[in-house]
Amino acid sequence: MKLRPLVTLLLLFAAALTSTPATAISAKDTLRIDVPEKSRQQGQFFTVKVADTSSKPELWFMERNYAMFRQPDSSWKALVPVENLARPGSYALLIRTDRLEQKIPVFVKPNYRKVQHIRLSPSKQAIKATSIEKTRIKDALQTESPEKRYKGVFLRPSPGRISSMFGLKRSYDGGPVTSYHKGIDISAPQGTPVKSTAEGRVILTGTVAEGYVLHGNTVVIDHGQGLTAIYMHLHSITVKEGQNVDKGEIIGTVGHTGISTAPHLHWGTYLYGTSVDPLLFLGHAY
């Protein structure tokens, strides 16, 4: 497996012979990449760090390009999501600069989440997402702002029991699996304060009256560098779009607006628009 560095060295040597100034071969001629997690489950993500490079690194995973973000120490970083329905198996993270390219093998494991059979009451069954909630929420969750706002381990947004896990596959009224649970549900009485789990900026507030009939009263927060969070089914919203929020700041209260059978908070976290398990952010700082 020493072939690639050798080939690189030979190419650089050849380049040094043909171009005029003889450049010394330094440590900068290999990419220094750190991927702490070599295997992850569906619905989780890989942390990719690249030490200072001659140009902004390009990152590819499962045929999709992910922006890398500059860190204060001049390194580059990205949290690369593994979609919950991605096929388990061996993959590679490809990192490329203007001069160098490297592949890091990684493994995606199944998460064995169960299929949840959901029966909707006739009144709830008739509810379809409106175009405003579909497009505005999708756009908000795909936000990739360069500044990293979140610091350290996240807080739980509300007290209460987790009544539904992330990633459960869903079948409605006996039909096929068409989706999965893109967050966790925390069961709590209506009116319980909901806190922002980390520092961020409010990029969306939407109410039932404005057309958020399925999601209910909703808040989306941009934590920066491709990470966003959604809070759904709120009773009240106490923040405004464009407002910065601190970790622990109250953004609203628990309710059961939209498609919901009992008061609970739905909290979802997204990387580059792909839903990942929010619990990952409670146990570890990224």
Q: CA-CA distance, 271 to 143, in Å (whole number)?
A: 9
Choose between 167 and 226: whose C-beta lies nearer to Zn ion.
Answer: 167
Q: How far is the CB of 36 from Zn ion (least distance, A)?
A: 29
Residue 235 engages Zn ion in binding (rule: CB under 5 A) = no
Closest CA to 269 of 227, 234, 225: 227
Binding to Zn ion (CB under 5 A): which residues in 141-200?
A: 185
Q: Which stretch binds Zn ion (CB under 5 A): 22-30, 109-117, 244-252, 264-272?
A: 264-272
Task: Count the residues of the shown chain that bind Zn ion, applying the rule CB under 5 A.
Answer: 2
Q: How far is the CB of 205 from Zn ion (least distance, A)?
A: 19
Q: Hey, how many other C-beta atoms are within 10 angstroms of the C-beta on 113? A: 18
Q: How far is the CB of 181 from Zn ion (least distance, A)?
A: 6
Choose between 65 and 163: whose C-beta lies nearer to Zn ion.
Answer: 163
Phi, psi torsion values for 11, nearest 5 degrees: -65, -40
Contact by Cβ (8 Å): 72, 106: no
Q: How far is the CB of 281 from Zn ion (least distance, A)?
A: 17
Choose between 201 and 266: whose C-beta lies nearer to Zn ion.
Answer: 266
β 101-109/39-41 pair status: parallel
Choose between 133 and 185: whose C-beta lies nearer to Zn ion.
Answer: 185
Q: How far is the CB of 248 from Zn ion (least distance, A)?
A: 22
Q: Which residues contact 13 (CB under 8 A, 6 or more apart)?
A: 25
Q: CA-CA distance, 49 to 97, in Å (whole number)?
A: 14
Identity (one letter) of the amino acid at 62?
Answer: M
- Chosen residue from 212, 220, 266, 271 binding Zn ion by CB under 5 A: 266
Report the 3 state secondary structure along 72-101. CCCCEEEEEECCCCCCCEEEEEEEECCCCE
Closest-approach residue to Zn ion (CB): 266
Q: How far is the CB of 267 from Zn ion (least distance, A)?
A: 8
Q: Hey, how many other C-beta atoms are within 10 angstroms of the C-beta on 6? A: 9
Q: Which residues bind Zn ion (CB under 5 A)?
A: 185, 266
